Structure 1
Amino acid sequence: MDQPTVGILHPGSMGAAVAACAATNASEVLWCEPGRSTASVERAAQFGLTAVAMLSELLERSDIVISLCPPAAAEDLARDVAGHRFTGVYVEANAINPERVQRIARLLESDAVVVDGGVVGSPPVRGKTPTLYLSGPAAATARIEALFTGTAVEIRTLGVEVGKASALKLAYASFQKTSRLLVALAVGMAREHGVDQELIEVASRRTDSYLSEPQYVAKTAARAWRWGPELEEAADALEFAGLPPEMLRAAASTLARWHDVKDDGELTPNDALDRLAQP
């Protein structure tokens, strides 16, 4: 297969590094310079990307376009691309929800082929090897897999349904990023009372990720009647320390959905998740 021309929208820290990997198997990687920051210009130069003057030129020359931009801009960017009647493969690789991805697919589907993408991991520099999860038409996902063959970007295909890759990305991000914030709140609360080092020592005794223990969901549900009020107390402690309490109050509100399964030792994880989905 001939080497494709690839367009990247836009070369942020992730986008530029991913584009540089794509360059391994592409004839050229283009980016659109007008309106971009000095940092973007420097990144593009660092990774050897070719600047073009207008979006229309990038789209006309590209066989594959990869969209990696701030999530809030993803739909407007796709609308601009649709207005130019792009006819290649459009990889929607932003951290947006599956419904938005499907809307974007509908915007572009009369001319382009849309592949849903989700990047899990750090930018592929200095030995980092992120995974780009894909879902969408098989022939198109195969082209993207070929584009990254032999590079630091690992490809995993999840099937033909647009939205699957974005769902996986957001499911993982919701745990990973919220967990980091919970660390900040917990250490902040402990520091207020001079026990932050002791907290870190307690936590260091357990290194496993709760995300790898989904069976514990049922136990969480059965204990929600106790945990909810406990988190309300913790939220009060955060507020007294001048720290934001809303996250823990929201967690307590979520636990309240399990109020009727108090100490239910027969509850299964699936039962608990079904109940969680019911207001």
Structure 2
Amino acid sequence: MDQPTVGILHPGGMGAAVAACAATNAAAVLWCEAGRSTASAARAEQFGLTPVATLPELLDRSDIVISLCPPAAAENLARDVAEHGFTGVYVEANAINPERMKRIAELLEPAATVVDGGVVGSPPVRGKTPTLYLSGPAAATARIEDLFAGTAVQTNVLGTETGKASALKLSYASFQKTSRVLVALAIGMAREHGVDQELIEVAARRTDSYLAETQYVAKTAARAWRWGPELEEAADTLAAAGLPPEMLRAAASTLARWGDAKDDGELTLTDALNRLAQP
């Protein structure tokens, strides 16, 4: 089968790295320069992606489009793609709840074929091997498996039902992200009373305790701008299932206190806790 041309919307930290893996089995991987930041342009260049001037040009040239953007932008982006009349395979790989996933599929079908996707793990750089979970029409998910064959992005097809991949992604994110918010709150409480080092020592006696991994507090703060909206999506998923969403909404609200720490790689534990205590 001929190698497909792939479009990535948009080359953020995850999107650019995933797109670079797709380039292994693609004729070209395109990204749209219009309205993107200098940081996006630098990432796209670093990963060898091909720039195009406009979204219509990207859609006209692409056989497969992969959407990896902040959750809040997912539907508007899909709407823009649908308005252009895209007829290829659209991989909705954002951290959105299953109901939103189904609405996006309805926007794009039947002109396009929609695949539900969810990335679990860190961006595929420096030896990291995330898994892209997929659900949707069998022929389309098989094309995405072929696209990432032999790359650092592993694929796992969950079936043909739209929403399964999104549900798995958010189920995992609910635990993984909220538990790290709780770490920050626990250490912040202990620090206020001068027993933070003792708390960490207690936690270190246990195996696999997030509470002993204090380096993740600053990393969580730097990622809060992405994680908060993702947990809101997960909370909506809980509510739709008749389960209480309040804990995840509270975690999202806590993350909002770190909104101005976006991607700050220099942040320390002390900085992060100070911002948490004094927004």
User: Which TM-score applies when normalising by structure 1?
Assistant: 0.75
Amino acid aligned to 2:151: T
State the superposition RMSD in angstroms. Answer: 1.8
Amino acid aligned to 2:68: L
| CA–CA distance in structure 2, aligned partners of residues 171 and 55 of structure 1 | 32
Q: Does the 8 Å contact 2:15/2:69 carry over to 1?
A: yes
Partner of 1:171: 171
Deviations 1:190-226 (A, max 9, x none): 111111111111111222479xxxxxxxxxxxxxxxx
Q: Residues 176 and 144 from structure 1, CA distance in 2 versus in 1: closer, same or farther, beyond 3 angstroms?
A: same
Partner of 2:111: 111
Amino acid aligned to 1:201: E
| CA–CA distance in structure 2, aligned partners of residues 193 and 59 of structure 1 | 57
| CA–CA distance in structure 1, aligned partners of residues 249 and 140 of structure 2 | 44
Amino acid aligned to 1:9: L
Question: When the two structures are aligned, how many residues end up with a matched partner?
Answer: 216
Partner of 1:61: 61
| CA–CA distance in structure 2, aligned partners of residues 249 and 69 of structure 1 | 21
| CA–CA distance in structure 2, aligned partners of residues 248 and 93 of structure 1 | 21
| CA–CA distance in structure 1, aligned partners of residues 51 and 149 of structure 2 | 24
Deviations 1:116-174 (A, max 9, x none): 00001111011111110000011100000000000000001101001000000001101
Q: Does the 8 Å contact 2:178/2:248 carry over to 1?
A: no
Q: Residues 248 and 191 from structure 1, CA distance in 2 versus in 1: closer, same or farther, beyond 3 angstroms?
A: farther
Partner of 2:243: none
| CA–CA distance in structure 1, aligned partners of residues 30 and 196 of structure 2 | 49
| CA–CA distance in structure 1, aligned partners of residues 176 and 21 of structure 2 | 25
Partner of 2:159: 159
Matched ranges for 1:1-279 at <5 A: 1-208=1-208
Q: Does the 8 Å contact 2:203/2:209 carry over to 1?
A: no
Q: Residues 25 and 181 from structure 1, CA distance in 2 versus in 1: closer, same or farther, beyond 3 angstroms?
A: same
| CA–CA distance in structure 2, aligned partners of residues 75 and 152 of structure 1 | 28
Q: Percent identity?
A: 85
Q: Which has the higher contact order (CA 8 A, sep 6+)?
A: 2
| CA–CA distance in structure 2, aligned partners of residues 79 and 139 of structure 1 | 24
Gaps of 5+ in 1: 211-245, 252-279
Deviations 1:51-72 (A, max 9, x none): 1111111111100000000100
Bigger-Rg structure (1/2) = 1
Deviations 1:4-60 (A, max 9, x none): 000000000100000000000000000100110000000111111111111111111
User: Which TM-score applies when normalising by structure 2?
Assistant: 0.75
Amino acid aligned to 2:114: V
| CA–CA distance in structure 1, aligned partners of residues 16 and 184 of structure 2 | 30
Amino acid aligned to 2:183: V
| CA–CA distance in structure 2, aligned partners of residues 98 and 208 of structure 1 | 30
Gaps of 5+ in 2: 211-245, 252-279
| CA–CA distance in structure 2, aligned partners of residues 114 and 189 of structure 1 | 46
